[in-house]
Amino acid sequence: MSDEELDLEWKTSNRPQSKIAQNFSIALNELFKIDNSLSDLDAAVCEKKKALSSQTSELEALEARLKATEERLKAAGVHPCPPIPASQESPRQRVAFQNSITSPAMANFARTSNRIQQLPTSRGQVTTQRS
């Protein structure tokens, strides 16, 4: 028998429940949200729909402003910057990279690696190499 069939066949006894059994039943209902699960889910779905709707309208407004700005730039003869490919690094990554170069150790390494080193060869000639 399935759970639904068992639920349909179950009949309450007319004897009173103990306070412990009533409290346990209430605790289970609160824990698993047995009684209000559908209404809670419905409320959550409605709330998310409202949030999505407001975010969509904000996005549409921003896109309209961006399009208007691009049209004004075209009319003024200024070419807007081409869109940045997704493969390029973000500004945050660029700043982190620049900050790592500005540290004293990295600056010293950069100066050293940019110097031209002269290395003697086995014949006594001097070759120029970049390190």
Q: Is the pLDDT of residue 58 over 60?
A: yes
pLDDT digits (tens, 9 = 90+) for 18-28: 889 889 988 88
pTM over 0.75: no
HSE-up (13 A, CA, CB side) for residue 96: 5
Q: What is the pLDDT of residue 127?
A: 54
pLDDT digits (tens, 9 = 90+) for 90-108: 555 555 555 555 556 655 6
Q: Is the pLDDT of residue 50 over 90?
A: yes
Cα–Cα distance for residue pair 129/117, rounded to 1 Å: 6
Q: Is the pLDDT of residue 79 over 80?
A: no
Query: What are the backbone dihedrals phi and psi of residue 80, each rounded to the nearest 5 degrees, phi first?
Result: -65, 155
Element (H or E) spanning 14, and its range? none
Q: Which of 121, 118, 122, 120 is nearest to 130 (CA)?
A: 118
